[in-house]
């Protein structure tokens, strides 16, 4: 995070470290490493770096940041380092958020569990929800970027 509460610096660092790794992968390809091995290396290094702690910083990514990360994936797919079945950056962020939220919600000893709103008991049922917690009022941009608020509103429909 920078002083403007964006993830531009983090994305720039990710892209520069990924460029170095792509150079090393190109050298491996020139020495005869099979494409499938390069795709495993890509998943273990570059893709894991993009997904690492994504629930914490992906909410602060601008559309330009997501576009820069998406262009990295497209370039790696074109060069053969990345498998074509790897989802888009937005889908990666969504799946990472979903996995993390389900771990927080299902584990009562998780450190973030106390920050979830209290469970509500409503005697009527208008529609089903994937959780039974009360929603927090969204008031500012920062609450849109907060992981817990994003997940509660996502699963309230």
Q: Which tens digits make up the pLDDT trace of 28-39? A: 888 988 989 999
**pLDDT (0 to 100) of residue 142:** 52
- Do 105 and 79 share a structural domain? no
Domain count for the chain: 2
- Do 69 and 48 share a structural domain? yes
Report percent pLDDT > 70 for the chain: 75
| Residue 132 domain flag | yes
**pTM (2 d.p.):** 0.72
**pLDDT (0 to 100) of residue 151:** 72
Give the list of residues 6+ apart from residue 101 with CB closer than 8 angstroms, or none: 55, 147, 148, 151, 155
Nearest to 137 by CA among 122, 152, 126, 147: 152
Write out the residue range of the structural domain in which residue 134 sits.
98-154
**pLDDT (0 to 100) of residue 74:** 93
């Amino acid at each position: 995070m920078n002083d403007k509460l964006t993830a531009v610096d983090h994305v720039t660092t990710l892209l520069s470290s990924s460029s170095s790794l792509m150079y090393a992968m190109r050298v491996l390809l020139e020495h005869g490493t099979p494409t499938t091995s390069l795709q495993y290396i890509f998943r273990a290094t570059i893709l894991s770096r993009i997904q690492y702690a994504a629930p914490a910083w992906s909410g602060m990514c601008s559309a330009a940041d997501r576009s820069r990360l998406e262009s990295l994936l497209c370039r790696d797919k074109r060069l053969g380092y990345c498998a074509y079945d790897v989802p888009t950056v937005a889908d990666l962020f969504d799946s990472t958020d979903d996995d993390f939220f389900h771990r927080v919600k299902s584990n009562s000893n998780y450190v973030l569990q106390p920050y979830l709103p209290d469970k509500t008991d409503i005697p009527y049922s208008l529609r089903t929800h994937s959780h039974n917690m009360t929603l927090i009022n969204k008031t500012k941009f920062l609450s849109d970027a907060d992981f817990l608020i994003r997940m509660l509103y996502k699963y309230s429909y």
